[in-house]
């Protein structure tokens, strides 16, 4: 049996906090909604050539769709393990002249390899080193499960709690942790960096880069060829989860919400983030040219950003479109400082800031923003045409909830989507596509029809979980006419574990 902590209060890494149970030695998933039925780990590493296709794939769609998921390898050490603690699994569908081939593969993180060798979980609760088995003390716990990007000829699997892992874009073999050749200080890197379509730069941030809760946020600007051209740091009022952000041509925008992390609390209990409704919500706006010296702080009503859609600067006005919830992300971190609270779903809001306001320090911030709700029903996982990011966009695609069609059973990350939404900002209208009963679309990925096609002229690639069939489809839609239904449906013969963010890499980039 595993060790029993004897001096828990000292909080030595490798020792379990007070009150926790010894880890299971079973190969049985916890009996919780996140580990049952459609959300049970899938763990299938497969190559399936020439998937069945309904309809015809557009012949110009040549390249690879990649998507990251959290597919827990071993029963967790804590039965209430959060979904985002699962091991990174990459789903790839390679498109070639109307054919589609599937490859699924785990990222061989240090953690994955050690646990496979031990045939059990060694790392404990999400980001909490005090809950790990002593045998892995000090070893990087990155699980590369949140997003996958292509930059400077490298395929990188991302997790905000760790550095990226580089993968081979054809075989999905793991090359190792990628620290940008030592140019990035710290142990973390966001899962939501932004590509600047004008310059080809990758604009990124990192929080809790010491590996434990701290109050610094780093901003890294990385050139199209992979050189870090500037890294800067600013302070925030408290340590908290910073999952996504917004970038315009001229500004960085951070929403700082009280899903807080406390280094002392980690020694006492496993949950890394705790919602503290008694703390304020702040917005930091940083000019890209001047840098963090020009930071301006605004106040917000209490809420949390789930994902950003897009933002742009127009003179003294900054417009930020993003999904916010009036609660924290309780489906991930249920315990709050005031007991259990109900989770509120995210809605799309447009915030308009007057940049003549704001304060140099958060303590002096009194100015706020004008807020407008853009879609009546909940949603999340938005995408714009990546060629228009950081400027005013017309089109957006979103996972959403059509109010008039049957609800799909709750997902592992909060409310599931029963529809995909195309929102046109010129008309303000939202068009829905619904994949059928018991089916839930995941994040849409946009692929332009041609490099010089207009904004929105392209395809959407959307994984759809078919809960009644225990498998997935990868649906191809015409982005400007989603209501017409699929152009083609690529049928995956098994269930993938419900995942997060993906990308498209054209053959020209893959060197084909």
Is 447:457 a contact under the CB 8 Å cutoff?
no
Is residue 261 a contact point for ligand V55 (CB under 6 A)?
Answer: no
CA nearest neighbour of 68 among 379, 467, 497: 497
User: Least distance in Å: CB of 368 to ligand V55?
Assistant: 25
How far apart, in whole angstroms, are the C-alpha atoms of residue 371 and residue 391? 19
Q: Which residue is nearest to ligand V55 (CB)?
A: 84
User: Least distance in Å: CB of 9 to ligand V55?
Assistant: 28
Q: Which residue has the tokens 């995956």?
A: 492
User: Least distance in Å: CB of 208 to ligand V55?
Assistant: 11
Among 106, 165, 433, 500, indicate the residue that binds ligand V55 (CB under 6 A).
500
Number of neighbouring beta carbons within 10 Å of residue 249 = 16
What mask, x for binding ligand V55 by CB under 6 A, covers residues 29 to 68? ----------------------------------------
User: Least distance in Å: CB of 427 to ligand V55?
Assistant: 30
* Closer residue to ligand V55 (CB): 213 or 456: 213
Among 87, 132, 160, 276, indicate the residue that binds ligand V55 (CB under 6 A).
160
* Closer residue to ligand V55 (CB): 146 or 174: 146
* Closer residue to ligand V55 (CB): 70 or 236: 70
Is residue 123 a contact point for ligand V55 (CB under 6 A)?
Answer: no
Per-residue b or e along 189-200, where b marks 16 or more CB atoms closer than 10 Å to that residue's CB: bbbbbbbbeeee
User: Least distance in Å: CB of 32 to ligand V55?
Assistant: 17
Instruction: Return the structure tokens found at 158.
Output: 């991302």
How far apart, in whole angstroms, are the C-alpha atoms of residue 227 and residue 180? 8
User: Least distance in Å: CB of 361 to ligand V55?
Assistant: 28
User: Least distance in Å: CB of 272 to ligand V55?
Assistant: 9
Is 442:15 a contact under the CB 8 Å cutoff?
no
Among 84, 253, 260, 303, indicate the residue that binds ligand V55 (CB under 6 A).
84
What mask, x for binding ligand V55 by CB under 6 A, covers residues 436 to 475? ----------------------------------------
How far apart, in whole angstroms, are the C-alpha atoms of residue 409 and residue 407? 6
From 155-163, 167-175, 218-226, 289-297, give the range in contact with ligand V55 by CB under 6 A: 155-163
* Closer residue to ligand V55 (CB): 155 or 365: 155
List, in sequence order, every beta strand (DSSP E) within 315-438. Answer: 317-325, 347-354, 370-373, 379-383, 395-400, 419-424, 429-433
Rounded to 5 degrees, what are φ and ψ at 92? -125, 135
How far apart, in whole angstroms, are the C-alpha atoms of residue 350 and residue 344? 18
User: Least distance in Å: CB of 122 to ligand V55?
Assistant: 19
Is residue 70 a contact point for ligand V55 (CB under 6 A)?
Answer: yes
How far apart, in whole angstroms, are the C-alpha atoms of residue 313 and residue 355? 9
DSSP H or E run through 111: helix 110-118
User: Least distance in Å: CB of 14 to ligand V55?
Assistant: 22
* Closer residue to ligand V55 (CB): 243 or 423: 243
Site size for ligand V55 (CB under 6 A): 9
How far lies 186's CA from each of 139, 216, 230, 359, 407, in Å? 14, 11, 15, 28, 43
Is residue 69 a contact point for ligand V55 (CB under 6 A)?
Answer: no
Please list every residue from 125 through 154 that binds ligand V55, using CB under 6 A: 145-146
Report angle CA 165, 166, 170 to the nearest 5 degrees.
135
User: Least distance in Å: CB of 386 to ligand V55?
Assistant: 20
CA nearest neighbour of 22 among 46, 45, 5: 5
Is residue 243 a contact point for ligand V55 (CB under 6 A)?
Answer: yes
From 156-164, 179-187, 283-291, 455-463, give the range in contact with ligand V55 by CB under 6 A: 156-164
Pairing of strands 99-106, 88-96: antiparallel
Residues of this chain that bind ligand V55 (CB under 6 A): 70, 84, 145-146, 159-161, 243, 500
């Amino acid at each position: 049996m595993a060790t029993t902590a004897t001096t828990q209060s000292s909080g030595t890494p490798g020792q379990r906090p007070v009150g926790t149970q010894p880890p299971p030695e079973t190969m049985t998933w916890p009996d919780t909604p996140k580990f049952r039925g459609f959300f049970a780990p899938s763990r299938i590493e497969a190559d399936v050539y020439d998937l069945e296709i309904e309809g015809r794939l557009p012949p110009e769609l040549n390249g690879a769709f990649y998507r990251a998921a959290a597919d827990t390898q071993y029963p967790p050490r804590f039965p209430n393990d959060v979904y985002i603690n699962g091991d990174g699994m990459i789903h790839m569908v390679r498109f070639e002249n109307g054919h589609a081939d599937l490859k699924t593969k785990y990222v061989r993180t240090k953690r994955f390899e050690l646990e496979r060798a031990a045939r059990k979980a060694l790392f404990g609760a999400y980001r909490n080193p005090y809950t790990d088995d002593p045998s892995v003390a000090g070893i990087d716990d990155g699980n590369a499960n949140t997003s996958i990007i292509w930059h400077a000829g490298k395929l990188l699997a991302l997790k905000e709690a760790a550095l990226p892992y580089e993968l081979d874009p054809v075989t999905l073999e793991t090359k190792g942790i990628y620290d940008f050749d030592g140019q990035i200080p710290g142990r973390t890197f966001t899962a939501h960096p932004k590509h600047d379509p004008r310059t080809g730069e990758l604009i990124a941030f990192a929080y809790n880069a010491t590996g434990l809760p701290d109050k610094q946020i780093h901003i890294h600007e990385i050139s199209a060829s992979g050189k870090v051209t500037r890294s800067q740091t600013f302070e925030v009022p408290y340590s908290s989860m910073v999952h996504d952000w917004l970038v315009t041509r001229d500004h960085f925008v951070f929403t700082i919400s009280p899903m807080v992390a406390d280094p002392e609390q980690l020694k006492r209990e496993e949950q890394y983030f705790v919602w503290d409704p008694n703390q304020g919500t702040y917005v930091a706006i940083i000019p890209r040219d001047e840098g963090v010296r020009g930071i301006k702080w605004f106040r917000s009503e209490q809420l949390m950003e789930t994902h950003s859609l897009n933002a742009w600067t127009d003179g003294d006005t900054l417009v930020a479109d993003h999904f916010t919830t009036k609660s924290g992300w309780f489906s991930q971190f249920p315990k709050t400082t005031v007991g259990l609270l109900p989770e509120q779903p995210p809605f799309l809001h447009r915030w308009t800031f007057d940049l003549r306001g704001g304060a140099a320090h958060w303590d002096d911030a009194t100015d706020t923003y004008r807020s407008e709700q853009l879609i009546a029903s909940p949603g999340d996982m938005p995408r714009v045409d990546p060629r228009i990011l950081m400027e005013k966009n017309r089109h957006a695609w979103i996972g959403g909830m059509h109010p008039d069609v049957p609800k799909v059973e709750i997902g592992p990350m909060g409310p599931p989507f029963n529809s995909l939404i195309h929102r046109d900002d010129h008309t303000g209208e939202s068009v829905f596509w619904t994949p059928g009963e018991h089916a839930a679309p995941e994040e849409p990925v946009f692929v332009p029809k041609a490099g010089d096609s207009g904004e929105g002229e392209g395809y959407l690639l959307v994984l759809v979980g078919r809960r009644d069939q225990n498998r997935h489809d990868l649906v191809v839609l015409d982005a400007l006419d989603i209501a017409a239904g699929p152009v083609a449906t690529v049928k995956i013969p098994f269930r993938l574990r419900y995942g997060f963010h993906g990308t498209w890499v054209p053959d020209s980039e893959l060197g084909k």
